[in-house]
Every structure is written in C-alpha cells, then in structure tokens.
Amino acid sequence: MPLPPILTHTFRRPLPYLPTLRSQNTIHAIQLEKRRTDSERTPDVMWLLEHRPVYTAGRRQKVEDLGVERDRLQGVGADWVQTDRGGQTTYHGPGQLTVYPLLDLGRSNASVREYICNLELSLREHLETHHGLEHYPSEHTGVFLSPDEKIASIGVHVRHRLTTHGIAMNITKEPTAWFDQVVACGLDGVRAASIEGATGKQVSVVQEAQRFAEILARRMGREIAPLDESHPEIWEIVQELEREAVAAGSWHNKPTSLR
C-alpha cells in the first residue's frame, strides 16, 4: 500500500526563526500522538520557506564561545538562536531556501543515515538537473561546488524517528555577505556560494522550492500535496506563522556592520 502524500506549504514571507522552531516541535508532538493512536493518520509535512536574518548554533558549539559570538552577530542586524540540530554556526535568511521535512521515518523504515543521504542526493540532483551545477565531492556534510564553495547545508534532529530541521540552499546572492560574518559550519576558508552567483541567472526562491520538494519526495518514494484545512491542527499552526511573519515587519537586507 503506497504511503500518503507529504503535505507541503510554501510560506509567503520570511519567517522569524524562534516561532518556526517552536512550531516544528508542536508538529512533532502532534505526529507522535497520532502515531500512537492511528499510524495511518500521522501527517508527514514539508515546510518550504525563507527566514528573517538569523544565525543558529548547533550542538557541537563550545559553550564558552557562544556568548561572545551571539553578541557580535546580533550587532550586525540578525537574530541569534542556539538549536538542537547537528552542526555548528550557520546563517538563514532571505534569498536562501530552507526546507523542514517533518517526517515519520518509521513509516518507510528508513534509517537516519538513509534519510540524510536522501537529502544530500536531492540537493545534488536539483542543482545538476535544473542549473547544470555539479557538486564537488567533500568529506563534509552538505553540498559544495568546489573545495572552498559551499552552496547547501544539512542539519537534522531526529527523536522517536520523527524529523525536525532540514536543509538550506542558497538561491540568490543575498545570503553571501551574512555568511562572510562567520566561519560557516566551522569550516575555515570555505565561502557561501549561490545558484545566482554560480550561473549568472536570475532565480526565484519560490520556483526552486517547488522543484526541490518534488525531487525529495520522489527520492523517498512519495508524492506531494498542498497542506490545507483538512488537517486543521497543522493548518492553524501554519496560518499563525504567516501572521507572525507579517507582524515582524521589515528586516535588514545586508549586515549593518562588516566583519
């Protein structure tokens, strides 16, 4: 019996990070409860979005380094959040596609390693199929265009075989100046690349979102369908995030001071 479609939603405005993180955790709780009562009713969800400018620290960060780094990065006009995902400091913001697949891996019996592999292979396929960009093989997690150019990052968290966090892929050049403020993902000498910068073409985050969602779902043996009111608990969470994005107002489109 085929698995039901993954329910997708593409957000209209850049989202503040903390409410989005809290909402992921709320979805996790809903998925866990529904799995305990009726596995066929467990909704798998994929959110496709841009964030307001924010730096996030992962579990591998040294506690003694966090305070100084937080103060400095907040001073350039971005938010700063410590998270439970893998990896080190990275940036999210406008011009970057962030994808949060909120999935129950138990439905397909996929391991965490297989899931991360599918994320990376989907990123590679997207870049090569739609933009003719071949990845550079690297020992590090994520997707590189050369030894010192990283175009996409992966950072996930799995509890009870339910996934949160996901991937980020630079679409326009806008994220580059923000990445220049940090040693992104702890990799000295590595700079952020983007589809726009690598191809010289105008690109749309919304268009890239739809393309990537289709590729990832296909790799996981799934189809996608738009999230709607037929799943009211999750739909209301999405609508509240849309409202918070509007209420948050404008954001800085470049760092207010340079490193």
Residue 213, SS3?
helix
Instruction: Consult the annotation and say whether 159 binds a ligand.
Output: no
Angle 170-51-11 (CA atoms, 0-180°, nearest 5)?
100
Name the residue with tokens 């030894």. Answer: 147
108: which strand partners?
Answer: none
11 Cβ partners below 8 Å, 6+ apart?
47, 48, 49, 50, 238, 241, 242, 245
Instruction: Consult the annotation and say whether 197 binds a ligand.
Output: no
185 is catalytic: yes
* CB crowding 95-113: b at 16 or more within 10 Å, else e: bbbbbbbbbbbebeebeee
Instruction: Consult the annotation and say whether 215 binds a ligand.
Output: no
Instruction: Consult the annotation and say whether 154 binds a ligand.
Output: yes
Instruction: Consult the annotation and say whether 167 binds a ligand.
Output: yes
Instruction: Consult the annotation and say whether 153 binds a ligand.
Output: yes
Instruction: Consult the annotation and say whether 93 binds a ligand.
Output: no
Instruction: Consult the annotation and say whether 85 binds a ligand.
Output: yes
Instruction: Consult the annotation and say whether 198 binds a ligand.
Output: no
Instruction: Consult the annotation and say whether 88 binds a ligand.
Output: yes
Residue type for position 76: V
Instruction: Consult the annotation and say whether 86 binds a ligand.
Output: yes
- Picking from 119, 154, 124, the residue whose alpha carbon sits closest to that of residue 137 is 124
The active-site residue, picked from 103, 185, 209, 237, is 185
| Residue 63, both tokens | 């506690």
| Residue 10, both tokens | 């593409």
Instruction: Consult the annotation and say whether 155 binds a ligand.
Output: yes
Residue type for position 186: G
- 176 vs 172: CA distance, rounded Å: 9
Instruction: Consult the annotation and say whether 166 binds a ligand.
Output: yes
Instruction: Consult the annotation and say whether 168 binds a ligand.
Output: yes
Beta strands in 23-125 (DSSP E): 45-49, 54-57, 79-82, 90-92, 96-102
- Please identify every residue annotated as catalytic: 185
Binding region for substrate: 85-92, 153-155, 166-168
Binding region: 85-92, 153-155, 166-168
